[in-house]
Amino acid sequence: MVFLSLVFLLICLYTFSESVLCSVEDFEGQKAFYSNEEKRKDKKSLMSNDQEDDNLLAEARQPLWRKVPIASSLINPYRIVIILRVVILVFFFHLRITTPVHDALALWIISVVCEIWLALSWMVDQLPKWFPITRETYLERLSLRFESEGEPNLLAPVDIFVTTADPFKEPPIITANTVLSVLSVDYPVDKVSCYVSDDSASMLLFDTLSETAEFARIWVPFCNKYNIETRAPEFYFSEKLDYLKDKVHPTFVKDRRAMKREYEEFKVKINILVAKAQKKPEEGWVMKDGNPWPGSNMDDHPGMIQVCLGSTGSLDKEGKELPRLVYVSREKRPGYQHHMKAGAMNALVRVSAVLTNAPFALNLDCDQFINNSKVLRESMCFLMDPQLGKKFCYVQFPKRFNGIDCNDRYANHNTVFFDINMKCLDGIQGPLYVGTGCVFNRQALYGFDPLSDKRPKIKSCCWPSSCSCCCSDSESSSDDDTDQELVDFDDEEEEELSFMSMKSLEKRFGQSPVFIASALMEDGGLPKGTNTRVLIKEAIHVISCDYEEKTEWGKEIGWLYGSVTEDILTGFNMHCRGWKSVYCMPKKAAFKGSAPINLSNRLHQVLKWAAGSTEIFFSGYCPLWYGYSGKLKLLQRLAYVNSIVYPFTSIPLLIYCTIPAVCLLTGKFIIPTLSNLASIWLMALFISIILTCVLELRWSGVSIHDWWRNEQFWVIGGVSSHLFAVFQGLLKVGGVNSSFTVRAKSAHDTSFGQFHLFKWTSLLIPPTSLVILNMVGIVAGISDAINNGYDSWGPFFGKLFFSLWVIVHLYPFLKGLMGKQNRTPTIVVLWSILVAIIFSMIWVRIDIFLPKQTGPALRQCGTRC
């Protein structure tokens, strides 16, 4: 442990110096760029007579964002206590190892091993928390710089991906609200394109999007006219706020009432579609035009693309243009791997590259609506930064949720992770990608390195004649450049090199010249004179089920395959290439979504995350041995290591939660009689743990309630979902695969109806057993203390403390078992009785009620006495 503490201190010193150097480099780079720009533009300002214009120019030249480090008065005491805690741990473990408990040697060995494991887990989790930061954005400067009056709007286009997999578990009205919030976002309409992926090929969702497109024609102008916030109508109309605040337009109340009536009618139409979709006709689904629906078999259907908005005539009721809305369902055939959400995301990347090719892409789950209409502008402050924007692979926003009980019984808000861990990672190389609410640089998704100037250029001679319409304007310029760039080669050698370059790109990106051309355009966009029909045909081609075969999709390009938590893999791959990410926390939450509010669904969600981590651990992308190219920082690697090894902590945690009950039942204890020095070190350890928590809450602003809920669910999830995930990972290594189903989302008006819903699952067995075992142990301990007199109460209270620690942490689990009427379900009662009988039999065998025999052993001798 002394060696480990020295390593801990050396890592702290190394990472501190590394972080300071990186911060200085970023600051100096930004400072140099803006100072040079000021010098250039100051000359122009001297020639100007309008002082107001000069002030606007000066404001536009300022940085679009800045880092805001945590005050040293808040963070330095936190760091000092962490170091002191490590030192105390060293002396504590020295004491534990050198003072064995001889009458309970097995328990002592097991407990020490578990304690060391948990201590190492804490150190791996704590090290990346050394440099927390926050960031501020300046939206006014962004508008001044890229939206000058009388000039073309220079804000970058954004493609927005919305994914859904089952319209019956993910209600269409939720998806419709997410799409409406996207279409009404505060951003130039000609620069927003929304792609909805339907992995179930459901005509229900197709018809829902058609109705949503019609409703958008009145909803979008309403939001723009009155500057509505929370642009998802379901949540806007259900907000218990003063909707007249800051609204001075005389017709607002009238228009709002009319819009609410329109939305209620829209919901009725969607509900009718849902009711019709409950029973599939024998002849299959038929579309409104009389043609059969191609996706009647969700596992065997062709690729489908439908432009719902964005074509000719896609105008709102005021005659203004609307954003593009595209329905996409990739081809599925038996015998092909489809890779779940990651495969759907990669299909959307290719379709959007062919049709619009925006340089940036936002991905959202179908239940994650835009809560802050300026969220795209927030992200552009980083991604369009002239100096550092090319180094950022993505901008991650925190997850926020609606419909959670006020006590947040199952820690659904996950506040500690989003408000502490992610802030700390932002001070190193950037936050983890969490699967939704993230704006990507498209070049990072293509596997390119940041600021790479050596990207392959495609010459016109390598394009098939069938794609000449997509590249007609670039042919002449390519021919002119050829004479200058390849003067040392004759025509035959040039054609051979172009052919080889094209072959290598096809092997990397797939056999689509149109897509390859778009992938090599750093700033996005489509070549002039593109033919829409050819693009749609090519878009169908890139979502075919065999397109990715023998390519690098899912291996080095796009969302990576191999785990149900494709988000961790994808972000890790980008950071290994040298990219940085950004964590943006605007005052008004950027996105909001739904969370599993009942116990069973929550445990299954945690199981999925933990199982994905164990899959990565046993894969070739494990951070312990992958990506040692020198571009991934040490603390960032530790953060990724922690994100994939945490499920294995469930093993010592489960054992350690069992030990108090075993001690109470057997009369043994894992700690010997303490000397004065040992008592001091034990008290120092408890004080350091408390101080660490208090100071962490102090600098982060997280409430003690949120922190405590996080601690409770760490134990609940650790002894259930994490444990099962470890076994599932081991089974997968042995060739036994497990499947995950889509989590059911609830509509807003019925969300609390499922809060007390109880669904039996095998995940409930370990925590239920722990509760029963510790309760039986407490009863046994009290009985033993009463029978053995006054001297036995001291050791009993020590054992009781640890047992109560387990029960208090599992208290939300107990509340979930009780349900609304505080009645435990029958299955739990039966399980409890079974376990109680087993321990009663053990109790009889232990027989602690009888006095201990100190004399010679007595036995029955019968008639021969």
Q: For 251, which DSSP code?
A: T
285 dihedral zone (left: phi>0; alpha: psi -120 to 50; beta):
beta
Find tokens 């081809």 and name the residue: 331
Other CB atoms within 10 Å distance of the CB of residue 634: 15
> Are 689 and 85 contacting, i.e. CB atoms less than 8 angstroms apart?
yes
Other CB atoms within 10 Å distance of the CB of residue 406: 5
Q: Is the dihedral of CA 487, 490, 492, 493 positive or negative?
A: negative
Which two three-digit tokens encode residue 615? Answer: 């899959």
Q: Which helix (H) or strand (E) holds 66?
A: strand 65-69
Q: Which of 409, 405, 415 is nearest to 712 (CA)?
A: 409
Which two three-digit tokens encode residue 554? Answer: 């899912």
Q: How many residues does the chain have?
A: 865
> Are 583 and 135 contacting, i.e. CB atoms less than 8 angstroms apart?
yes
User: Can you tell me whether residue 580 is helix, strand or coil?
Assistant: strand
Other CB atoms within 10 Å distance of the CB of residue 457: 11
Characterize the bridge pairing of strands 591-592 and 369-370. Answer: antiparallel
Q: Which of 814, 727, 820, 819 is nearest to 769 (CA)?
A: 814
As a whole number of angstroms, the distance between CA 47 and CA 53 comes to 11
Q: For 571, which DSSP code?
A: H
Which two three-digit tokens encode residue 161? Answer: 């991906």
Q: Which of 127, 121, 81 is nearest to 656 (CA)?
A: 121
Find tokens 């309008």 and name the residue: 50
As a whole number of angstroms, the distance between CA 865 and CA 863 comes to 6
User: Can you tell me whether residue 271 is helix, strand or coil?
Assistant: helix
Other CB atoms within 10 Å distance of the CB of residue 275: 9
As a whole number of angstroms, the distance between CA 347 and CA 353 comes to 10
300 dihedral zone (left: phi>0; alpha: psi -120 to 50; beta):
beta
Taking the alpha carbons at both ends of the chain, their separation in whole angstroms is 61
Q: For 294, which DSSP code?
A: T
Q: What share of the chain is helix, strand, coil (3-state, %, to 5)?
A: 55, 10, 35
Q: How buried is residue 698: exposed, middle or buried, by Cβ count under 10 Å (0-12/13-18/19+)?
A: middle
Q: Which of 131, 129, 145 is nearest to 65 (CA)?
A: 145
Angle of CA points 650, 654, 658, to nearest 5° = 170
Q: Which of 612, 647, 603, 648 is nearest to 764 (CA)?
A: 603
Which pairs count as long-range contacts for 825-831, CB under 8 Å and 24+ apart, including other chains?
A: 825/758, 825/760, 827/760, 828/760, 828/764, 828/768, 831/765, 831/768
> Are 756 and 815 contacting, i.e. CB atoms less than 8 angstroms apart?
no
As a whole number of angstroms, the distance between CA 229 and CA 466 comes to 47
* Residues marked as catalytic: 199, 567
Q: Which helix (H) or strand (E) holds 40?
A: helix 2-46
As a whole number of angstroms, the distance between CA 122 and CA 642 comes to 9
Q: Which helix (H) or strand (E) holds 364?
A: strand 360-365
